[in-house]
Structure 1
């Protein structure tokens, strides 16, 4: 048995988007997981993982806090002595990668999105690129989730071995095709952290306009509030413009009543799991023209693509969707399901990891 260490920043993300890989690894290896404990820690333990509680400031830029994370990773790696390390998201990739390099341990990095630091030019971008160069230089393989991220990093960093994955993929059995709901009332769904870069302003703008013009519409919002939107959401809910449901562990019950998922993000995505799960469920999607989103939408076929930060364009596409007849809406959802089955099956991600791990462990 090989000893595998996984470094991640969220138990819910690891469980929801990489459970199938973790289950396969546990069957054949001794698997350790380092991340901040949360509501899904027990589920990972039930699979068979050995958990290590590791604090991470996901969006913080305090160098002292980040240095402490690097020190923790070095200690964890020296204690466990893994045969291979798997890292996900920016800080585990950077500081976990550096810790692996210091300890001469093979590791596989997954670029789940470049983050705001690399999105905009400036000192922070230069510092982040420097850290990526140092951390990814000795990576056994770097997995990318979209072509734009791959091209950007390969232009700025020398990476010897890399592969392009279909994001995290989606479990097409777990997210099965749902029956399309009747359209006496049209339900739209926003699923994301409530923050500016996820396009919440554009969604609220569209909701206010569309609800006033088309009373038989409902705009649902699911997700934790990370920016100061609580007051605005409460006010709009009191007016009957939106329905805010907060953080939900079971998204499928909302997918069942939904006619369309709206994801107007301009956050640096790897590949949007929200869109993959919505399309797999047979729901049309409306999203922005940016990497990590546009790959999942064939414009006019299984949804619509809108301009970033453009509430007017979003309103136009929502109206265009509303003016479709019932069968056209349903067929749009079926097209999305077919696209996910062809291009985004999570089993392909599991197979890619298995191949790279076997190269390293020879098992």
Structure 2
């Protein structure tokens, strides 16, 4: 079969969905990956994996209806020319316009992944409510055009059901994107406690809370390292370089920029920290667990699924800097507890989040066995 995998972010396709696409190929199917970034930059990388790559126009963070119409038209034309047997789409705009473009071409084998609801969907204020109203209409149409919809956490699933966007018989729950346990292997913990945040530098990821917590930690524990990995972003809530610069100049955080391989940085930390406001299921947390690291994350949709509080890490309230500092201090001062939590994280990664288990459920649901 010919399978199209759609995303509005090409790097996410390559790094987060590659294991799934390779499994599609192992089962004898052809895969075409569709993203928003240039074919010159990505075509060869996908080709090396046996995947064809095609660029389409997607304005990821915009609300211009003419831009969205352009996205829909390109996808509709692509579906008409390629005639895929099945479509797998994730991220808001490609979920909506990909499913509608498939429907326009009488493609019924459409599978969607809701990998977290963004700040617009969960936010407050008049503008957010106005946009959310249209997003509900779009998501409802997308779900109607799909055969099955994958959710990574109960909160997002309940949000869709409570808003009447989907019928329960279309829902399939999966344990995040899974983690490749062959690639992400356990590593010894550093002798001195160290913390790490990986993610796009947007405020909804809890970046400001992390930076402020690191500031306080470094005053009391100057020997402790606080590390940061991730790119700047076009999101309206993105952190600006001049906002991060003082933390770097004062030696509060070590910033390593965007990295294609995060393993060397996870290896350097003892605890992975992600105080995000909402996620699908954060893949970086699963990767840190697979390397055997304790976790501090938010008691928020998607994040809370990865941690049993006090077992393999700690949950803190969203935007609670005091609570975050308290848990960081606990793991600095109680090294044996941190080691025990790290071992439990690895156990959870192996038992629950193995990418092979996740992909097996997706492949079975899509009828690709």
Which of 231, 238, 241 is the aligned partner of 1:230?
Answer: 241
Residues 305-363 of structure 1 deviation map (CA, whole Å, 9 limit, x = unaligned): 111011111111111111113x322121010010111111111221122212327xxx7
Q: Aligned-pair distance for 1:42?
A: 2.6
Say whether 1:162 aligns with 2:164: no
Q: How many Å separate the matches in 2 of 1:249 and 1:92?
A: 23
Residues 89-124 of structure 1 deviation map (CA, whole Å, 9 limit, x = unaligned): 111111101111221212110101121232136221
Q: How many Å separate the matches in 2 of 1:40 and 1:148?
A: 34
Q: Aligned-pair distance for 1:24?
A: 2.1
Say whether 1:346 aligns with 2:355: yes
Which residue number in structure 1 is paired with residue 211 of structure 2?
A: 204
Q: How many Å separate the matches in 2 of 1:228 and 1:181?
A: 29
Q: How many Å separate the matches in 2 of 1:251 and 1:269?
A: 19
Which residue number in structure 1 is paired with residue 291 of structure 2?
A: 281
Which residue number in structure 2 is paired with residue 357 of structure 1?
A: 366
Q: Aligned-pair distance for 1:36?
A: 2.0
CA contact under 8 A between 1:172 and 1:280: conserved in structure 2?
Answer: yes
CA contact under 8 A between 2:280 and 2:302: conserved in structure 1?
Answer: yes
SS at match of 1:189: strand
**What does residue range 249-264 of structure 1 map to in structure 2 within 5 Å?**
249-264=260-275
Which residue number in structure 2 is paired with residue 247 of structure 1?
A: 258
Q: Aligned-pair distance for 1:232?
A: 2.9
Which residue number in structure 2 is paired with residue 309 of structure 1?
A: 319
CA contact under 8 A between 2:42 and 2:53: conserved in structure 1?
Answer: no
Give the TM-score taking structure 1 as reference length. 0.94
Which residue number in structure 2 is paired with residue 191 of structure 1?
A: 198
Aligned length: 355
Which residue number in structure 1 is paired with residue 223 of structure 2?
A: 216
Q: How many Å separate the matches in 1 of 2:87 and 2:290?
A: 30
Which of 107, 121, 126 is the aligned partner of 2:110?
Answer: 107
CA contact under 8 A between 1:6 and 1:31: conserved in structure 2?
Answer: yes
Q: Aligned-pair distance for 1:40?
A: 4.8
Q: How many Å separate the matches in 2 of 1:158 and 1:238?
A: 49
Which of 323, 327, 350 is the aligned partner of 2:333?
Answer: 323
Which residue number in structure 2 is paired with residue 265 of structure 1?
A: 276
Q: How many Å separate the matches in 2 of 1:115 and 1:203?
A: 20
Q: For residues 228 and 163 of structure 1, do their structure 2 counterparts lie closer, same or farther at Cα, with a shift above 3 Å needed?
A: closer
Which residue number in structure 2 is paired with residue 144 of structure 1?
A: 151
Which residue number in structure 1 is paired with residue 32 of structure 2?
A: 32
Give the TM-score taking structure 2 as reference length. 0.92
Residues 55-108 of structure 1 deviation map (CA, whole Å, 9 limit, x = unaligned): 211111111111110111100000000111111111111110111122121211
CA contact under 8 A between 1:117 and 1:128: conserved in structure 2?
Answer: no
SS at match of 2:196: strand
RMSD: 1.5
CA contact under 8 A between 1:17 and 1:170: conserved in structure 2?
Answer: no
For structure 1, the 5+ residue unaligned runs are none
Q: How many Å separate the matches in 2 of 1:319 and 1:24?
A: 42
Q: Aligned-pair distance for 1:26?
A: 2.3
Q: Aligned-pair distance for 1:43?
A: 2.4
